[in-house]
Structure formats: C-alpha cells, structure tokens
C-alpha cells in the first residue's frame, strides 16, 4: 500500500491535520481550535496533531504539505497570517520539517482549496481554474495549465483584493473598494444593516440568507450587490488568466442560488469576450476538507 501524505491546514479559527491517500481520499484527520496565546502555544497544537497523525500512519508518510492562511512567504518558508497575530514570519516549514523528519512544502490556503477542488471536487477536469472562498473574508488560488500557481511569494490568487470600486469603502489591506469590502459575509451584513435591515446586531450572512430566502427585499439587494462585485472580479480575472472554471466555496456560497444566480447573470454581462463564453462558475464540493486535500496535492503528483 502506498504511504499517505501528511496534510496540515492552518487557519485563524482551526488547525487541521490529516492523512491523504494517493487517490486523494482523506483518511485519519483531526482538528483543534487555533488557540489564543503566544506563538509557541499555537505551534504546540500543530505539534500534537502532527504527532498523532504520524502515529496513525505508523511513521510512514510520503511527504508533508502545509496549507496556511496568508500572507505567506515561500522563499523563506514563513507565514504571517492576518488572523493569527502571534505568528509573524513564523518558520513553519523549518519547524514541521524538524518535527516530521522529511521536507515540507508550503502553499497558501486559497491555493490549496483550489487544488483540492480540482483534484477531488467541482474543479475536476479544469485546466485553468480559480478556486475561491467567500466567507468572513474573500480568498482564492489559481491553478494554471493544471499546476498550482504560487506567484513570486506564494500569494497569487488573492482575489478578495481585486478592486471593483476604486472610490469604495476602506479595506483591511489598506486599499479601497476591494471585493472583500462588499462580498465578505460580515460586510454584506453590515451594509444591509446600514441600509435599514431590521436584524439583531449579531445577525450575520446566514441570517441575511434566511431573510433573503423569505423575500426580504433589502437582504436580496445585499446578495445581488455582493454577487455583482464577485462577478466583476471573475470577469476580470477570467480575462487575465483565460480561465475555464471558477469554483466558489465558503459560508456565503452555502446560500446557493442566492449567490450563484446573480453571479452568473452579471458575469454574462461583463464576460463579453468570446474566449470567456464557456467559463463555468460552480459551487465547491469538498467543504472544509478542501484545504487538507489540496495541501496533500503539493506532495503527490495529481
């Protein structure tokens, strides 16, 4: 039997570790919340999950792939995730390599999501693909000519910061009018509330989707506004990269037709070039497992 790949997925809310077979099936996997605490306390969670997975594999693995929230820095093997403030240029590649005893390969979480979906999910058969997540933020990764596209530092595919409204709201990145300022779940709920959505302060994109499904016109406008931003970005990135497929996952994408119908409708308006007419936009299939499956694909040729 072929040895599995060890996959690590590091995010602001959870850290997951799993074993992935060479046909992309996720076997043993466990996760823990990303702890509050110093850099070593966070590392201790990675250490314990990896040690447990190594034991489950009988110490025999074929390689280690790491998906991490960004920004990352591939040349130095370090990560500085926006949502893990204690990790500033944390040397994740070196630490994992020491722990496991074999070289680790790092990728952005958006890239790994895209790779996972292309291997085992809604991206199967795509050659030029954007995989993206719309949830508390908007992120993504590019698979170009069938291969993961890292970019210079590992951060290619940050589609949440494509500017769709140059005079728009300030973004956490320091810019203005990025897709994320309009289409992230929290920003959708905020906009709806500012425009008179009658909802409790803690109501989020899930409640907004429920309201839209119940016919609330303001909630429907919030979804259309977000979908318009996402579609404008897809038309732009699609034209730049000559894409054949876009796969969208994340909490906001779980609202299904509420997001996808207006995205496809608006995309049809903006994606006018002939080579974009076949561009498909599909819902992700792997959910939260995509990062682990994609991380494994960094060390298994798929």
Residue-by-residue DSSP string for 5-57:
EEEEEE-SSEEEEEEE-TTS-EEEEEEEEPPSS-HHHHHHHHHHHHHHHHHHT
| Nearer Cβ to Zn ion (6/162) | 162
Minimum CB separation of residue 221 from Zn ion in Å reads 23
User: By rule CB under 5 A, what string of x and - marks binding of each residue 146-175 to Zn ion?
Assistant: ---------------x---------x-x-x
| Nearer Cβ to Zn ion (82/273) | 82
Under 8 Å between Cβ of 219 and 212: yes
| Nearer Cβ to Zn ion (183/286) | 183
Q: Which stretch binds Zn ion (CB under 5 A): 101-109, 176-184, 205-213, 286-294?
A: 176-184
186 lies in the site for Zn ion, by CB under 5 A: no
| Nearer Cβ to Zn ion (120/161) | 161
Residue 67, SS3 per DSSP: strand
Q: Which stretches does DSSP call E strand in the chain?
A: 5-10, 14-20, 26-33, 64-68, 72-73, 78-79, 104-108, 129-134, 138-144, 147-149, 245-249, 280-283
Which tokens is 191 given? 């906009």
> What backbone torsions phi and psi does residue 5 show, to the nearest 5 degrees?
-90, 145
Minimum CB separation of residue 172 from Zn ion in Å reads 6
Task: Round to whole Å and give the CA distance between 26 and 5.
Answer: 10
User: By rule CB under 5 A, what string of x and - marks binding of each residue 97-136 to Zn ion?
Assistant: ----------------------------------------
| Nearer Cβ to Zn ion (188/292) | 188
For the chain, how big is the Rg over CA atoms in Å? 19
| Nearer Cβ to Zn ion (175/288) | 175
| Nearer Cβ to Zn ion (120/158) | 158
Which tokens is 143 given? 């698979």
Among 133, 178, 192, 227, binds Zn ion (CB under 5 A): 178
Minimum CB separation of residue 72 from Zn ion in Å reads 17
Q: Which residues contact 259 (CB under 8 A, 6 or more apart)?
A: 134, 223, 226, 227, 230, 248, 252, 253
Under 8 Å between Cβ of 100 and 90: no
> Distance of alpha carbon 31 from its chain centroid, rounded?
17
* Lookup result for tokens 């302060």: 201
Minimum CB separation of residue 229 from Zn ion in Å reads 12
Minimum CB separation of residue 226 from Zn ion in Å reads 15
| Nearer Cβ to Zn ion (182/211) | 182
By CB under 5 A, what part of segment 199-238 binds Zn ion?
Answer: none
- Interacting residues with Zn ion (CB under 5 A): 161, 171, 173, 175, 178
């Amino acid at each position: 039997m072929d040895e599995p790949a060890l996959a690590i997925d590091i995010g602001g809310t959870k850290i997951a570790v799993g074993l992935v077979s060479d046909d992309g099936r996720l076997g043993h996997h466990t996760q823990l919340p990303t702890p509050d605490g110093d850099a070593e306390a966070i590392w201790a969670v990675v250490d314990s999950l990896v040690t447990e997975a190594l034991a489950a594999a009988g110490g025999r693995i074929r390689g280690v792939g790491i998906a991490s929230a960004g920004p990352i820095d591939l040349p130095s093997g370090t990560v500085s995730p926006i949502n893990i403030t204690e990790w500033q240029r944390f040397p994740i590649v070196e630490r994992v390599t020491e722990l496991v005893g074999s070289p680790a390969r790092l990728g952005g979480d958006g890239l790994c999501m895209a790779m996972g979906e292309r291997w085992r999910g809604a991206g199967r058969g795509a050659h030029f693909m954007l995989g993206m997540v719309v949830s508390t933020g908007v992120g993504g990764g590019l698979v170009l000519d069938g291969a993961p596209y890292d970019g210079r530092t590992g951060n290619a595919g940050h589609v949440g910061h494509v500017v769709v409204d140059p005079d728009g709201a300030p973004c956490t990145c320091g810019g203005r009018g990025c897709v994320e300022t309009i289409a992230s779940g929290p920003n959708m709920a905020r906009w709806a509330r500012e425009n008179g959505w009658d909802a409790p302060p803690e109501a989020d994109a899930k409640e907004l989707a429920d309201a839209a499904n119940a016919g609330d016109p303001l909630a429907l406008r919030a979804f259309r506004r977000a979908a318009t931003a996402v579609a404008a970005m897809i038309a732009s990135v699609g034209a730049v990269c000559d894409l054949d497929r876009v796969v969208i996952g994340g909490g906001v994408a779980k609202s299904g037709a509420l997001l996808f119908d207006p995205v496809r409708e608006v995309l049809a308006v903006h994606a006018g070039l002939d080579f974009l007419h076949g561009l498909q936009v599909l819902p992700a299939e792997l959910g939260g497992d995509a990062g682990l499956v994609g991380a494994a694909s960094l060390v298994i040729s798929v």
